Amino acid sequence: MNWVAPIKDEETLEKFKEKLREIDDKYYIMFEIGVGTGLQLQEILKFKNKDLRGKEEIEAYIGTKNVKRTFRISPELQEIIRAYTEGKDPEAYLILGHSSSPAPLSREQAYRALKSAGKSIGLTSIGAQTMRKTFAWRYYKATGDIYYLQNLLNHASPSITYRYIGEKPNVEVVLKKMTPEENERSRYMLYRDDNGKKRMEAIKDTMNELEAEMQNPCNNDAFYGKVDCLLTEIEELIRNFRETK
């Protein structure tokens, strides 16, 4: 499975949008909504015209625990949606699979269109998450606010969000909590049932296993590459931990 990456430059992004438009306007609208809000593909495909037309924001339930999040719709995107839905049945699905059927576009159809548009301009790292990752990357570059994205995307930590958008973590941000309340909660959780000690022991066990596995002649070069990357990240985190006040 190929790694799905955000589209990080405007020229390529515009070319990609045009290719989607050449396939069908509905794919272009779908992509504009995804890259403009951060909504997941499966959520976009559920919408009816009335759900988005004239709206400044939309609520959706995400993740396995159905956490409610509010996604903003910019004035520019509102106008795109208004033009696309003009004169259409409010009760009809926003993105139809076929003009002759009332059924919504399927995830598989959407995926094929995204892959086809990407292939036509030489992009191989395209998938269902491309829209969301592109939104998140652009938002981070514009604001630097990794905590907003972490909350919106329902990630457990900033480091996961950095990895999601393909950016090197700002370790000072990763090593600091947002509020005194969160710091207090961390103290409680680390002391509770010796949880902090257990987590440290688990990390040490992993390091010991890797140290022993280093002597295994059956390992390929990729294994040593991964270990090298892991150690580099750990060393940088430790260095910044010691320097962060």
Task: Name which of 117, 110, 92, 104 is nearest 30 in CA terms.
Answer: 110
Q: What is the mean pLDDT of residues 24-34?
A: 96
Q: Cβ atoms within 10 A of the Cβ of 55, count?
A: 16
Longest dimension (CA), the chain: 69
Cα-based torsion angle of the residue sequence 15, 20, 21, 22 in order, rounded to the nearest 10 degrees: 90
Q: Whole-model pTM?
A: 0.73
CATH class of the domain whose range is 10-165: mainly alpha
User: Which residues neighbour 142 within 8 Å (Cβ) at sequence distance 6 or greater?
Assistant: none
pLDDT by residue (tens digit) across 34-45? 999 999 999 999
Where are the chain's structural domains? 10-165, 194-243
Task: Name which of 6, 3, 1, 4 is nearest 149 in CA terms.
Answer: 6
pLDDT by residue (tens digit) across 172-188? 666 666 677 878 888 88
- Distance separating alpha carbons of residues 9 and 115, to the nearest angstrom: 18
Q: Read off φ and ψ for residue 205, nearest 5 degrees.
A: -60, -40
Q: Which residues lie across from 96 on neighbouring strands?
A: 104
- Distance separating alpha carbons of residues 57 and 26, to the nearest angstrom: 20
Half-sphere exposure of 24 (CA within 13 A, CB side): 15
Say if residues 77 and 39 touch (Cβ distance below 8 Å). Answer: no
pLDDT at 118: 95
For the chain, the straight-line distance linking the first and the last C-alpha, in angstroms and rounded, comes to: 41
pLDDT at 171: 67
pLDDT at 222: 85
Give the model's confidence band at 237: pLDDT under 50 very low, under 70 low, under 90 confident, else very high.
confident
Give the model's confidence band at 194: pLDDT under 50 very low, under 70 low, under 90 confident, else very high.
very high
Q: Which range has the worst mean pLDDT, 32-46, 54-68, 140-154?
A: 54-68
Q: What are the start-end ranges of the H helices in 153-194?
A: 158-165, 171-174, 180-191
> Which tops the pLDDT comparison, 231 or 28?
28
Task: Name which of 209, 236, 174 is nearest 201 in CA terms.
Answer: 209
pLDDT at 174: 64
Say if residues 69 and 62 touch (Cβ distance below 8 Å). Answer: yes
Q: What is the mean pLDDT of residues 38-55?
A: 94
> Which tops the pLDDT comparison, 168 or 63?
168
pLDDT by residue (tens digit) across 94-111? 999 988 889 999 999 999
